[in-house]
Structure 1
Amino acid sequence: MWRNSYVGNLSLFYEIEEKLKQGHNVVLISNHQTEADPIIISLLLEKTNPLIAENMIFVAGDRVITDPLCKPFSMGRNLLCVYSKKHMYDIPELAEMKRKANTRSLKEMALLLRGGSKIVWIAASGGRDRPDPFTEEWYPALFDSSSVDNMRRLIEHSGTPGHVYPLALLCYDIMPPPRQVEKEIGEKRIITFHGAGLSIAPQISFPEIAAACKESEAKDVYSQALYKSVSEQYNVLKSAIHGKQGLEASTAGVSLSQPWN
């Protein structure tokens, strides 16, 4: 995987490590490509930022612990499992159980954040990215503004300084999900060797966003700002990996590196 893999804006990961050492909380609002995302993120950062790689908490869907193919990618990761809205009513009689499980996970998240020095990754779309059915191009799935707002509120109410950063991940070729959302566990999957990319952009402040728009629009505008940043970073990673531009794909906003060299 490593020869054609890149990390964008590595300096910001060092910045985050300092904030964690100071007792601050950090939430990474990200796109989601495959169940291997947690281990890929950790591998990409283990040499330069071991504090982040070892302590990141991943808000993950239930498939990472129920699908036999996906379980190995979750071993050794810090997971808080939730049921996605997309699968809440797959089996109607289990919907109430899933809602209660999600409530327990949110309460556990709140307790963790109150302790400070936590870094949390969450896929704000509530599921994996999928290719456009007409162009076959992959792109980050749209964010659910309610999910983004829930994490923002958890940070605000933790009693500890908190920061929200947009993070982009490109690694779908390693284990692409099915083209359509499937209800059943046991999806047919193909695993291959391929380059991967990870990029982070400066934190985005909700108060600054809220001050520039109507109060009723602030939640959606904030989510859109995070999504725009993730999409822009994703396009740089795509140019570096799929466009084979490598480090030359770097832009004014995304400085690429290969930190294991």
Structure 2
Amino acid sequence: MAALTTAPTVGLSETFSRLKLRGKVAFIPYITAGDPDLSTTAEALKILDSCGSDIIELGVPYSDPLADGPVIQAAASRSLARGTNFDKIIAMLKEVVPQLSCPIALFSYYNPILKRGVEKFMTTLKDTGIRGLVVPDVPLEETEILRKEASDNNIELVLLTTPTTPTARMKTIVEASEGFVYLVSSVGVTGARASVSEKVQSLLTEVKEATSKPVAVGFGISNPSMSNRWLDGEQMVSLLVVPL
């Protein structure tokens, strides 16, 4: 029996626009696909959607996740050990995405994209209903082909800026980023932290002065109290890792 479907999901930008009109901020949880297995991931996506997630960031497991800390590295290792691969993730998403009311942004390292071919990768995402993409290990200068193919397939490519990014370069990144700007809260890998550097507030101010696009703070945000200090009722969001 075919799965019941909801109305087609909107993109990342439209999601933020709707939230802004309501005076709301966005909740964007992150989970790793295939941990502990893809059937659990499918159920988790539906639960996160029903619990009010505005966007869900779904990580594609990779054997050399340079940006990830021990929690997500372990999740990726467990997933890969069970035989999870991109084709299996896509097969699962084709069943689940039509049942979701919020968009999914895929988090993938560049090597799996190159292995498949950028054009084919993007058309696959489009056909699956994926609305956003984050590729953490590609420098701005090498994103041109990604941005072109993403744009051609109605996928918003989210770019990252970090505490060590020079101001001029940050401005170029935020101009090119689509959907939202991903502000990395600290130098280093992902993972829960007891606190986040006081520098985040000044970084956030600097980024928001450079763009009217929504800004997401990620890497190390592990509880609401860490994000509430930055919420201003406009476009501020927080990305949280959801352990499963």
Class of the TM-score when normalised by the shorter of the 2 chains: 0.3 to 0.5
TM-score by length of 1: 0.33
Q: More relative contact order in 1 or in 2 (CA 8 Å, sep 6+)?
A: 1
TM-score by length of 2: 0.34
